[in-house]
Amino acid sequence: MGHVCGLLNRCGFLNICRLDSSEGKCLLSSAPINAVRCFKTAILRKTRWRSQSSGPKPRIGPLNTEFEGVKVENGGPVQFSKLFKPLCFTFVISSGSFVCATIWQYENVRARAILLLKKPGGWDHGNLFVVKKHGTWRNHVNTWWNSLTEGQRLFFPICFVNCLVFLAWRVPRLQGIMVQYFCSNPASRAVCWPMVLSTFSHYSAIHLLANMFVLHSFLSGAVASLGKEQFLGLYMSAGVISSMSSYFHKSLIKKPGFSLGASGAIMCLLGYVCTEYPETKLTIIFLPLFTFPAAAAIKVIMAVDAAGVLLGWKFFDHAAHLGGAACGITWSYWGNAYIWQKREPLLHWWHKLRGGSVK
């Protein structure tokens, strides 16, 4: 009887059967339908069209996570057709990051020009006036800050945001939100914004410290080569591109899962620096006497990640690492020359919109 009720439901009559929870019996209410025709139609659909669903899909239970018992809705395997929206989001965020970086650079140059016009001779070794603060400790902090490179100055706000998100993971009431919006998962309801937010998300303290150490090690060289504006645009673009690479791989193997961390964007930084300065000598923190060229380092790292993708290793998101590294290498060969150096039309448009000449 229960089987017939299920077949009737598949024929479109969803409200004619209900389960009596007390006796476990199926109660049928009268309805003006041809039960025999419905039964035959359901059998034909079941035998001839197995690939097509003729009724409501079965619900998949909640997915357990490693985040202190937090459960989220499991969307099941991800189809490639569902990646169109994340792909468009990747293009919008990447393009918007470089547009914002261009405008930011324009505003910085404009501010320096205005200051030089007001106070000629205020340029001292590439830095603007050093404003003295009231109090001894503030002067010490100000002197220390001005002694840092542009890359070191940029490291602190990036690290601060990552630390804030790490502390948010420690709040039990926020963990449901953190899993939904700060973990990239192609099977989740929210698939776009987590591609960006997960770049600043770390659940483990070791994960956070390792990523921030590598970021600090390579940031100064990258910013010296790119400038802080171009670097930040590349960093944000690499974060969302690496998440898109992870989405594509999870859809290919039909196994959705959670990913978080800045390693995809940091791999872009590593790929760019190792491509731009291939002869630079690198070392391992635990083996300071063992050095190797940067060109060899990026090849070995990408080979390990490629093996992880092919062999199905689960410890890291190797697809995201490969996407980030490819982004950095591509930018080193073509991005700077064919995208960043071709931004003059955007600068002219913003200059006219901004109000023309410097006053």
Distance CA 328, CA 96 (A): 18
321 belongs to the catalytic site = yes
Distance CA 271, CA 9 (A): 56
Q: Which two tokens stand for residue 336?
A: 């700077």
21 DSSP 8-state letter: T
170-191 burial, b for 16+ CB within 10 Å, e for fewer?
eeeeebeebbbbbbbbbbbeeb
Closest Cα partner for 75 from 163, 162, 156, 185? 185
263 belongs to the catalytic site = yes
Burial class of 214 by CB neighbour count within 10 A (0 to 12, 13 to 18, 19+): middle
Cβ-Cβ contacts under 8 Å for 338 (sequence gap 6 or more): none
Residues β-bridged to residue 283:
291
> 249, 263, 318, 332: which is the annotated catalytic residue?
263
Q: What are 108-116's contacts with CB under 8 Å, separation 24+?
A: 108/229, 110/354, 110/358, 113/358, 114/358, 114/359
Angle between helix 228-253 and helix 205-226 axes, rounded to 10 deg: 130
Distance CA 247, CA 91 (A): 15
> 94, 184, 321, 332: which is the annotated catalytic residue?
321
Q: Which two tokens stand for residue 243?
A: 């998440």
Name the residue with tokens 């989220």. 72
For the annotated catalytic residues, the residue numbers are 263, 321
